[in-house]
């Protein structure tokens, strides 16, 4: 996520490269599995997607984020 203000950085620390949506209260990156699950559920609830569509959409979205890019590649290589 592009971060325009310090408040959008994890733990509101401008040196943290990750946003508040991908970090815990201390600015530590959340586990990939937790963030993936949360985003899939959110997509199903707010974007009227079934689980398969949501998973595909979320993986595409996460593959563009520096924090998750490598994890998505690892998942794709396993299948």
Among the listed residues 61, 58, 65, the one whose alpha carbon sits nearest the alpha carbon of residue 40:
58
Among the listed residues 23, 52, 55, 64, the one whose alpha carbon sits nearest the alpha carbon of residue 36:
55
5-42 tens-digit pLDDT: 999 999 999 999 999 999 999 999 999 999 999 999 99
Domain chopping of the chain, boundaries? 1-29, 31-79
SS3 27: coil
Residue 1, pLDDT score = 73
Greater pLDDT, 79 or 75: 75
Contact 43, 60 (CB under 8 A): no
How many helices and strands, by DSSP H and E, does the chain display? 3, 0
The token pair that represents 14 in the structure block = 């401008």
Q: Evaluate if residue 71 carries a pLDDT over 90.
A: yes
Residue 27, pLDDT score = 96
Mean pLDDT of the chain, nearest integer: 94
Residue 2, pLDDT score = 80
Residue 21, pLDDT score = 92
């Amino acid at each position: 996520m592009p971060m325009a203000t310090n408040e959008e950085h994890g733990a509101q620390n401008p040196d943290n490269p990750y946003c508040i949506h991908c970090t815990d209260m201390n600015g530590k990156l959340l586990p990939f599995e937790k963030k993936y699950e949360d985003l899939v559920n959110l997509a199903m609830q707010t974007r009227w997607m079934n689980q398969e569509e949501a998973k595909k959409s979320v993986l595409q979205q996460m593959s563009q984020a520096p924090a998750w890019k490598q994890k998505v590649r690892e998942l794709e290589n396993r299948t």
